[in-house]
Structure 1
Amino acid sequence: MGDWLSTLRRKAELRERAGLRRELRPRAGDDALIDLAGNDYLGLSRHPEVRAAAASALDEYGLGATGSRLVRGSTDAHTALEIALAGWLGAEQALVYSSGYLANLGAVRALCGPRTLLVSDAHCHASLIDGCRLAGAETVVFAHGDPADAARVLAAHPGRPAVVLTESVFSVDGDLAPLAELHAAARAHGALLLVDDAHGLGVIGRAGAGGAVAAGIAGEPDVIVTATLSKALGGAGGVVAGPQALIRHLVDTGRTFIFDTALPPAITAGVGAALELARAGDPLRAVLHERAAAIRDVCRAAGLAVTDPAGGVVSVEAPSAEHAWSWAGACRDKGVAVGCFRPPSTPDSRSRLRLTVNAGVPAADFARALEIIVEVRP
């Protein structure tokens, strides 16, 4: 009976040798590390208006939603947030989930029929990959950020219903998908386009409305947008936005919606307050983009391989998984939190530090963090 435990221990040893061990590192509320690891891009998670909205809803509704959205979990706060999200994203309707991961699983599954072809960017997030697996549909991966290759795949399967899957700002390297071109390629072959806007929402586009708005394709009947509410909006939850018929289908049939406890009302209300701040947050976005460019410039001046950021994510290549782990640890020891991305969290075999901008970090702390990252590099 202990053989399965021995197998797990052996696998853990192999991961340790390959530099792929992961650890949970609890942080205190007064954690003093300079944050270049979290996704609170606009620094809204602690904004007084966000906290006040959450506290008021906590008093009104209590701690949890007490049930799924279709049982007792839907509140006025959920409805208000969905209306605001649909308007911001330029979509007919929006549906709030308890996480962006579940939103992606549910959206991909809902778009699939018996013959559907899923055409997925090579760098798509794990939640989209798992959505493809859950859907059980044939999936073909196209070259990262390459609309011509996506068109080639679609042309090779004429007459089949298809969905092209991409992120807007990619979660690992922070580069921007050519959304207008991908949409044109999808439409030319009668396919849908699903855009995961997790790292674009609040960060790019008019009034921070995300990648689909920036590309001029928001509200098109063949475009579906998903996002998490845990990044630029500083909270938790997810959203699917698109045609009303899709939202109706998700409410009626979507297992990751129907059978999941709803997002707590306090978080829902806090996210709603954050959305209004983000919509009016052009000065914060300006700081974010300036700092992302500064990370790129400082790292390149130091001879490091670094990506061109489209939003708040900047990727700095590490020599190996072991070096990425030790580099991140050295940064932490010096008071800076950075992301350490190694396989399988990366879409290729390369390991990286992933640096994320928080516009709420004091300027002096941000400058010091960059100095430390360069100083302790492998």
Structure 2
Amino acid sequence: MSWQQRINAALNERRAADAFRRRVAVEHGAGRWLQRDGERWLNFSSNDYLGLSQHPQAVAAWQEGAARYGVGSGGSGHVSGYTVAHQQLEASLAEWLGYPRALLFISGFAANQAVIAALAGKDDRLVADRLSHASLLEAASLSPAQLRRFTHNDVSHLQRLLATAPDGQQLAITEGIFSMDGDAAPLAAIHEATRTSGAWLMVDDAHGIGVTGAQGRGSCDAQNVRPELLVVTFGKAFGQSGAAVLCSDTVADYLLQFARHLIYSTAMPPAQAVALRAALEIIRSDDGQQRRETLASHIRAFRRGARTLGLTLTDSQSAIQPLIVGENDQALALAQRLREQGCWVTAIRPPTVPAGTARLRLTLTAAHQGQDIERLLEVLHGARQ
């Protein structure tokens, strides 16, 4: 089979399964509203949980950073791209989260891949929650280490897998809040299991940072846990993009020597680092706390209304509220009916989620208003009839 035949076959298979992905160009895709072709919809597909992508303080900081540094970093951080702006952001993150060091990465995907690729050797074992993010599982499967997966949030299964030590070291991997189901990991119990077995723990808290814990410090803070490796990303509650790895001094020095995604990538624009530091200040402020309280109120209102309507949700107390539909064509049809009624919702299908669990991944944000949640419930009720 030729390259073209193989590509055509794979695409046709996706189309036949109603799993073909398409991008939609929008004029505005974050915040309360999504705008496209002169129309607008209430936006229930954004990860901008605190509405900071539109915050005047963050916008002004980016503009001021661009005026000072320009719009690009000019190179890898190991060459000329590491500026005072990057240094200050790393220091602020480390102080806020209680770690000796923070290292910036261009994305959460890159951070996860870099850490696992740099640490995992052929004699090591990686033990990952079965529902961990694709960036974690892909990096683990491509590494020379042995990969074992434990049943989602099942600490007993994790303990059994950790009980027999390999020749090398063990690294347990999980998320703080899972991106597709929206549920939280039992981090305190997981951390105790890793500590007892002598393993290290790596937590990707993309969907918890900024939203949970004191001052929005995230899932680990909420459960009084400090893993050896904490990955936080800036594409959700921070309202921007990029990521950081929080770790010890020695691990940071090691990653600076061996993390290829860090060494060989152009650093994020320093103007972005300035804007991220401004977003961090907001998250830590009374404004940030008020936004977290508003988001929590929306989550309670939606789940209360969904329960009244008999909707099938996952056990999520986070901003991610998946509505399980089942088959791909049903999820696509329901998403389309909601869009026709003014609510922008995205259908998530396999292979992103297991077969038979296609869903509407509803996300709530502090930018929404109470009437928006009421409208979403009203439209869901009508569309399900």
Alignment TM class, shorter chain as reference = over 0.9
Name which of 246, 251, 263 aligns with 1:258: 263
Per-residue deviation, 1:311 = 2.0
Match of 2:31 in 1: none
Name which of 329, 351, 355 aligns with 1:344: 351
Aligned residue type for 1:11: A
Q: Does 1:308 align with 2:307?
A: no
Query: What does 1:325-344 correspond to in 2, within 5 Å?
Result: 325-344=332-351
Match of 2:214 in 1: 206
**Aligned counterparts of 1:70 and 1:366: Cα–Cα separation in 2:** 47
Per-residue deviation, 1:347 = 4.8
Match of 1:223 in 2: 228
How big is each residue's C-alpha offset from its partner over 1:333-357, in whole Å with a ceiling of 9 and x where there is no partner? 2221223211111156411111111
Match of 2:375 in 1: 368
Q: Does 1:282 align with 2:281?
A: no
**Aligned counterparts of 2:218 and 2:269: Cα–Cα separation in 1:** 24
Name which of 181, 187, 194 aligns with 1:186: 194
Aligned residue type for 1:163: L
Q: Does 1:108 align with 2:116?
A: yes
In structure 2, runs of 5+ residues without a counterpart are: 29-33
How big is each residue's C-alpha offset from its partner over 1:157-178, in whole Å with a ceiling of 9 and x where there is no partner? 3664100000001111110100
With normalisation by structure 2, the TM-score equals 0.93
How big is each residue's C-alpha offset from its partner over 1:133-154, in whole Å with a ceiling of 9 and x where there is no partner? 2322110000100111100001
How big is each residue's C-alpha offset from its partner over 1:219-277, in whole Å with a ceiling of 9 and x where there is no partner? xxx52100211100000101100111111111111101000111112222111111111
Q: Does 1:20 align with 2:19?
A: yes
Does 303-312 or 101-110 show the bigger shift? 303-312
Identity of aligned residues (%): 36
With normalisation by structure 1, the TM-score equals 0.95
SS at match of 2:338: helix
Name which of 244, 253, 272 aligns with 1:239: 244
Name which of 273, 276, 288 aligns with 2:278: 273
Residues matched between the structures, number: 374
In the alignment, is the contact (CA less than 8 A) between 1:320 and 1:350 conserved in 2? yes
Q: Does 1:79 align with 2:84?
A: no
SS at match of 1:73: coil
Match of 1:133 in 2: 141
SS at match of 2:380: helix
In the alignment, is the contact (CA less than 8 A) between 2:94 and 2:100 conserved in 1? yes
How big is each residue's C-alpha offset from its partner over 1:14-53, in whole Å with a ceiling of 9 and x where there is no partner? 2112110111001103712211101000000000000000
In structure 1, runs of 5+ residues without a counterpart are: none
**Aligned counterparts of 1:56 and 1:334: Cα–Cα separation in 2:** 40
Match of 1:377 in 2: 384
Q: Does 1:121 align with 2:102?
A: no
SS at match of 2:14: helix
Match of 2:107 in 1: 99
**Aligned counterparts of 2:254 and 2:119: Cα–Cα separation in 1:** 10
Name which of 66, 72, 85 aligns with 2:74: 66
**Aligned counterparts of 2:22 and 2:380: Cα–Cα separation in 1:** 21
Match of 2:299 in 1: 292
In the alignment, is the contact (CA less than 8 A) between 1:123 and 1:347 conserved in 2? no
SS at match of 2:312: coil
Per-residue deviation, 1:300 = 2.4
Per-residue deviation, 1:313 = 0.9
Aligned residue type for 1:13: N
Per-residue deviation, 1:181 = 0.3
Does 104-113 or 16-25 show the bigger shift? 104-113
